[in-house]
Chain A
Amino acid sequence: MSVLNARIPEGPLAQKWTNYKDHQKLVNPANKRKLDVIIVGTGLAGASAAASLGEMGFNVKNFTIQDSPRRAHSIAAQGGINAAKNYPNDGDSVFRLFYDTIKGGDYRAREANVYRLAEVSNSIIDQCVAQGVPFAREYGGLLDNRSFGGAQVSRTFYAKGQTGQQLLLGAYQALMRQVNAGTVKMYTRTELVDIVIVDGKARGIIARDLVTGELQRHFGHAVVLATGGYGNAFFLSTNAMGSNGSAAVKAFHKGAFFANPCMAQIHPTCIPVHGEFQSKLTLMSESLRNDGRIWVPAKKEDAEAIRAGKLKPTQIAEEDRDYYLERRYPAFGNLVPRDVASRAAKERCDAGYGVGTGLAVYLDFKSSIERLGKNVIEARYGNLFQMYEKIVDENPYETPMMIYPAIHYTMGGIWVDYELQTTIPGLFAAGEANFSDHGANRLGASALMQGLADGYFVLPYTIQNYLADDIRTPRMSTEEKEFVEAEKAVKSRFEKLMSIKGNRSVDSLHKELGLVMWDFVGMGRNKKGLQHAIERIAEIKKEFWSNVRIPGDIKGMNIELEKANRLADFIEIGDLMARDALNREESCGGHFREEYQTGEGEALRQDDKFAFVSCWQYKGDDAEPVLHKENLVYESVKMVQRNYK
């Protein structure tokens, strides 16, 4: 019997969430005021949870490392949010959204969670419209939809190319309304640095004020981590510079299991790397694949001439272009899921057909502009085209965009049960920080859906169910020994970092880690490479702890110290990702082991051996983590080879 219990409610799939809500425990209004909930993070999941729990009457403390909750990286999501509304009357339903998400995730997600996600998706759209989110509309005044990868229906709601911004601002405004009402207290420029466990339950956090450098102790009857993903382990990613996996590592160290760490999404349409000074990669929304066609030259000599600057893409005749996604996947064409599109781009570039630096393919709008007119394309994607032009200095209305895959999202994360509770009682994880809904690959426009589903419509129920047993627990003094000891440990870690006084900057070490990750734990992985990566990461860890240089003082604002603290955790995550990828001897979704592919180069799952969630348990700094398995049982769908042809 596994130590893991996903606590999935009884009953048929479509009834599980209703059954749960009908039988969960409630907390009366007078008691809610006496219960403190700490929420770390203010992205879609964190802000929506904080606002909702505040509205219900709980006493919420909400933390962000940014200067304002509105800066969280959810803001950068471009394309849209899925929901099973079926407004376009194209045959969508809750079951279809559920099915597409399970299939898109290559059958490595938990059925019950994904069904619930699809079920609450419609309420999210209703909620956001009521908040004043200005979604795109048709001339009749009703909401417009667009298509995204991995689906044959149009179920994606959007607000220009700024959907994440508008949804986050909606949640942020709901949150600020609660700040004004006094139910939520906001802590900005404050970072979680440890989780406090009392009698086996999460009871608070140690936080660091990033302006003064001072450590703070905070008590909470429950703690929610909504701290996003860990894609920045790769240094170059589409994540914001400050996005980090430290909260997840703290939870891991305190006993929470880390699930599927190797499941990272490589997004197919990002602006390619252009130099070693590069600090981040910019995403071009997947929505562009609605109207853009992806191609490379069909002839190697044309590709070579383009790379040498002797030919322009517009000079390549139609018959000399290889629209490789349309060729390989006629049913889905340019709208295949992200993992499939990314690997196909890598395959063409590795074969010598890449453009630009050789690591780029074209995304071309010529035929759409001819068909729909420049105005329509501008209305749909104007801000993305402008962003591209500012960065690359080329006009995508006239010449095709150059794109290449980049790390974008992490499906893996802290293991949670059906209630979004980790293996530590009272510690919950929401949004990208947990592992739950996307399996081995996330479909486009599903991250926004999941973040808001967790925050608006799941946690408010499940946290209440947990806290109902806690109404007799008085607020704890932060002078208790567990808080004092946790703070002491954090203090010594920061002092240790400052005392190294070595010769390498944090960024130089982070870039070194990133290259190892990209080369060996990236789009194509194999046994030898992963073993090499684990060795290299151990060397980088040693180098970091003996040779990092952090100027300045432990007191006051010290950005290098913040970065060093996060990099130490990224190194651990990198190791965990490589270990998990090595262990998972199959290809599924974003995890592609070169040893396991079909004759046509498609991912080959090993369902008999690997239809489980890998859950890693921390065993100490010098010990190897231990693997536990949550077996995935599919009752409503049949596991089949994904086919987008």
Chain B
Amino acid sequence: MEKTINLTLKIWRQNGPKEKGRFETYKVNNISTDSSFLEMMDILNEQLINENKEPVAFDHDCREGICGMCSLYINGRPHGPDDDVTTCQLHMRKFKDGETVTIEPWRAAAFPVIKDLIVDRNAFDKIIAAGGYVSVSTGGVPDANAIPISKIDADESMDSASCIGCGACVAACKNSSAMLFVSAKVSQLALLPQGRVEAKRRAKAMVAKMDELGFGGCTNTGACEVECPKNISITNIARLNREYLKARFAE
């Protein structure tokens, strides 16, 4: 049955990348616990517009947990207090009446704030552009069933491929490392015969780009795995390290 709650929101507001940011406090009342977190933000914004104030800017799009657009650091956790979900799938039943909720953008040097809660995650595209693909052009490829792939490898590859590129791993990491993101792509492709051919080059190129863009190193704290909305495992990082070392030894 429908229940409603009242909340105090402490939200990071920042006009632009070079402007100074600050927390602003807002109240929202009668929020249905069946509504999603972003619907609660919609209600806040509607309230602000009606008061002739500028609404809070935040990234979101598919609202079903797959596009990776939504972010938000909620009460100190990327994607908030629920497990295995993105912010758009987080529902208000996870909050208590009267609670104060702190909402911040991802904090990482490689993800500068654009406005309020929106950050620039272009660095992820640059890492993929550096080598996160199989170098085949359209046409002239063999029949899809020409190379059998064991179900175990295909399933494991699929698990790694589930990454949505949201950046929660970077936001969760005290070093702002992108290792979980990079290792997921390296693993997905290294597990398949199609991707094996370029595995060494790929691992080296992606790691080099990640370092160049200002992401930190991995110190195995595992926070990324805990906060990943798609359960990407840190065993991917182990595989990346293996691939990377193999590539270096081969030099």
Contact = CB atoms under 8 A, between A and B. Distances in A.
A375 interface: no
Contact of A549 (B49, B85, B142, B143): B49
Nearest to A276: B32
A131 B65 CA distance: 24
A125 B154 contact: no
Contact of B151 (A68, A139, A188, A505): A139
B61 A73 contact: yes
A574 B114 CA distance: 34
Contacts, number: 219
Interface in A18-47: none
B97 to A, nearest CB: 17
A141 B161 contact: no
A68 B165 contact: yes
A46 to B, nearest CB: 14
A558 to B, nearest CB: 8
A604 interface: no
Contacts of B118: 557
A192 interface: no
Given A130-B194, A141-B150, A279 B42 contact: yes
A597 to B, nearest CB: 33
B68 A390 contact: no
Interface string A69-98: 111010110000000010100000000000
B76 interface: no
Interface in B20-61: 32, 34-36, 38-39, 42-43, 46, 48-50, 52-55, 57, 59-61
A123 B148 CA distance: 17
- The B contact surface, by secondary structure, is loop
Contacts of A277: 32, 35, 39, 42-43
Contacts of A177: 129, 133, 135
Given A130-B136, A277-B39, A283-B64, A68 B145 contact: no
A141 B89 contact: no
Contacts of A136: 154, 158
B144 A125 contact: yes
B128 interface: yes
Given A143-B144, A180-B130, A393 B138 contact: no
B152 to A, nearest CB: 9
A73 B67 contact: yes
B99 to A, nearest CB: 19
B132 interface: yes
Given A127-B138, A131-B194, A559-B55, A71 B68 contact: yes
B120 A143 contact: no
In the complex, which of the residues A166, A179, A280, A456 has the most CB atoms of chain B within 10 Å of its own CB atom? A280
Given A142-B145, A142-B148, A173-B133, A391 B55 contact: no
Interface string A551-580: 110001101100000000000000000000
Interface residues of A, number: 82
B122 A67 contact: yes
Contact of B42 (A134, A282, A391, A507): A507
A562 to B, nearest CB: 11
A387 B43 CA distance: 23
B157 interface: yes
A140 interface: yes
Contacts of B120: 67
Nearest to B119: A67
Given A177-B133, A211-B114, A275-B34, A280 B68 contact: no
Contacts of B141: 126-127, 129-130
A622 interface: no
A279 to B, nearest CB: 5
Contacts of A76: 62, 64, 66-67
Contact of B144 (A126, A172, A508, A552): A126
A560 B192 contact: no
Nearest to B138: A52
Interface of B: 1-2, 15-16, 32, 34-36, 38-39, 42-43, 46, 48-50, 52-55, 57, 59-69, 82, 84-85, 89, 91, 93, 114-115, 118, 120-122, 124-125, 128-130, 132-139, 141-145, 148-151, 154-155, 157-158, 161-162, 164-165, 188-189, 192, 194-195
Interface of A: 48, 51-52, 55, 66-71, 73, 75-76, 85, 87, 122-123, 125-132, 134-143, 159-160, 162, 164-166, 169, 172-174, 176-177, 179-180, 186, 188, 211, 240-242, 274-275, 277-280, 282-283, 309, 386-387, 390-391, 393, 456-457, 460, 505, 507-508, 549, 551-552, 556-557, 559-560
- Please name the 9 residue pairs, one residue from A and one from B, whose CB atoms are nearest each other, closest first: A141-B148, A173-B133, A130-B141, A134-B158, A176-B129, A134-B157, A55-B137, A129-B144, A52-B138
